[in-house]
Amino acid sequence: MKQIVIVGHGGQEKLQVREAADPAPKPGEVRIRVQASGINFADILTRKGLYPDAPKLPAVVGYEVSGVVDQVGSGVDQALIGTDAVALTRFGGYADVVSVPVKQVFEKPAALSHAQAAAVPVSYLTAWQLLVVMGSLQPGQTVLIHNAGGGVGLAAIDVARHVGATIYGTASAAKHAFLAERGVHETIDYRATDWSVEVDRLTEGRGVSLIIDPFGGTHWKKSYRALRSTGRLGMFGVSAATASKLPGPLRLGKVALGMPIFHPVALMNGNRAVFGVNLGHMWHETDMTADWMRVVLDGVAEGWVRPHVDRSFPLENAGEAHTYIEERRNTGKVVLTT
């Protein structure tokens, strides 16, 4: 098989193609001939040495694939062989073959291409956990989706539309027309203006019911201040670390130092809630995430789940794909195809 290995921390040259023996599926696993692998921002953070949950290098990253099952391990239904599948992979997704526990494997909706299917698991599960499971978003409420033009951002728009919420989204200006088409009611250019002033104007000073924030550091303080009474802040990333010019570990330290500390009395008197989401720490709850995944995959046929692949790159060009995302050129998902 062919894999993309991160050989060390650094630029896109640290992603190297390697040939290896095909893995045999262990008991309870299926082996998938990968057609498409989803790229996530965490993969870029791993390459840069900024991801606390990264595997030890050298490593093959990749959390999600779509492809065809070609072998199953003992204890797994033989009928799965030859079927189209979409799967969550705890690393190893940047490859043309991967073996995965069957609990993390789902039937690919026929309406989706493999590239579209590979764009579903991480983004939609994260969005579902943020907006529905923990954010408790209700019809008629307002939601502010930061980084609305990214993979998780577009998935969150679909979930918020499904719930029936009013959607505000921050993104680079070039993405605004597309976001409006996707259902964002108000787009905000957070790089050119102060988004909190705009939110204040839009909500007539009341604030937002739910804010999802992947930036981290001091940005979480700002988002917290923009909540309405009964509002919730969902924290789920530290993208701010990549924007800093400091050397590796210092960047994470700076973001950590800027983080808010929420006092229970302030939460109580403010009628606000804060919560964190890290899908990468849900591997012990695969029954729960599988239930969410089935809701999301049903959503494809129901029409509210609309995975958007901005660009596909050949697996060998994973470095180019990373650069494309780092330069903020992606609207939605970027996938690797074999």
Ligand X SMILES: NC(=O)c1ccc[n+]([C@@H]2O[C@H](COP(=O)([O-])OP(=O)(O)OC[C@H]3O[C@@H](n4cnc5c(N)ncnc54)[C@H](OP(=O)(O)O)[C@@H]3O)[C@@H](O)[C@H]2O)c1
- How far is residue 207's CA from residue 225's CA, in Å, rounded to a whole number? 8
Among the listed residues 277, 293, 309, 315, the single contact to ligand X using CB under 6 A? 277
| For ligand X, the closer CB: 84 or 189 | 189
| For ligand X, the closer CB: 76 or 152 | 152
- How far is residue 215's CA from residue 192's CA, in Å, rounded to a whole number? 16
Closest CA to 32 of 45, 22, 42: 22
Tell me the site size for ligand X, rule CB under 6 A.
Answer: 29
Q: Parallel, antiparallel, or unpaired for β 208-213 and 227-235?
A: parallel
Residue whose C-beta lies closest to ligand X: 150
Is residue 122 within the footprint of ligand X (CB under 6 A)? yes
Sign of the CA dihedral with 158 first, then 164, 170, and 174 last: positive
Is residue 151 within the footprint of ligand X (CB under 6 A)? yes
243: which residues sit within 8 A by CB, 6+ positions away?
A: none
Two structure tokens written together for 199? 């939110």
**Contact between residue 87 and residue 100 where contact means Cβ atoms under 8 Å apart:** yes
**Contact between residue 279 and residue 289 where contact means Cβ atoms under 8 Å apart:** yes
- How far is residue 270's CA from residue 118's CA, in Å, rounded to a whole number? 40
Minimal distance in Å, beta carbon 79 to ligand X? 32
Is residue 180 within the footprint of ligand X (CB under 6 A)? no
Binding mask 307-326 for ligand X (x = CB under 6 A): ------------------xx
| For ligand X, the closer CB: 99 or 239 | 239
Among the listed residues 109, 153, 307, 319, the single contact to ligand X using CB under 6 A? 153
Considering only the stretches 54-62, 77-85, 149-157, 255-263, report the one whose residues sit in contact with ligand X under the rule CB under 6 A. Answer: 149-157
Is residue 279 within the footprint of ligand X (CB under 6 A)? yes
Minimal distance in Å, beta carbon 9 to ligand X? 16
- How far is residue 127's CA from residue 159's CA, in Å, rounded to a whole number? 7
Minimal distance in Å, beta carbon 280 to ligand X? 6
DSSP 250-302: HHHHHHHHT-----HHHHHHHT-EEEE--GGG-GGGHHHHHHHHHHHHHHHHH
Is residue 89 within the footprint of ligand X (CB under 6 A)? no
Binding mask 212-251 for ligand X (x = CB under 6 A): --x---------------------xx-x--xx--------
Burial class (CB in 10 A: 0-12, 13-18, 19+), 132: middle
Q: 3-class DSSP state for residue 37? A: strand
Backbone angles phi, psi at 188, to 5 degrees: -130, 130
| For ligand X, the closer CB: 30 or 115 | 115
Q: Cα 171 vs. chain centroid, distance in angstroms?
A: 16
Q: Cα 134 vs. chain centroid, distance in angstroms?
A: 16
Considering only the stretches 16-24, 35-43, 80-88, 245-253, report the one whose residues sit in contact with ligand X under the rule CB under 6 A. Answer: 35-43
Among the listed residues 16, 278, 286, 323, the single contact to ligand X using CB under 6 A? 278
Among the listed residues 15, 35, 41, 50, the single contact to ligand X using CB under 6 A? 41
Minimal distance in Å, beta carbon 334 to ligand X? 7
Minimal distance in Å, beta carbon 61 to ligand X? 12
Site for ligand X in 129-148 (CB under 6 A): 147
| For ligand X, the closer CB: 92 or 153 | 153
Binding site for ligand X (CB under 6 A): 40-42, 122-123, 126, 147, 149-153, 171-172, 175, 214, 236-237, 239, 242-243, 277-280, 325-326, 328, 330
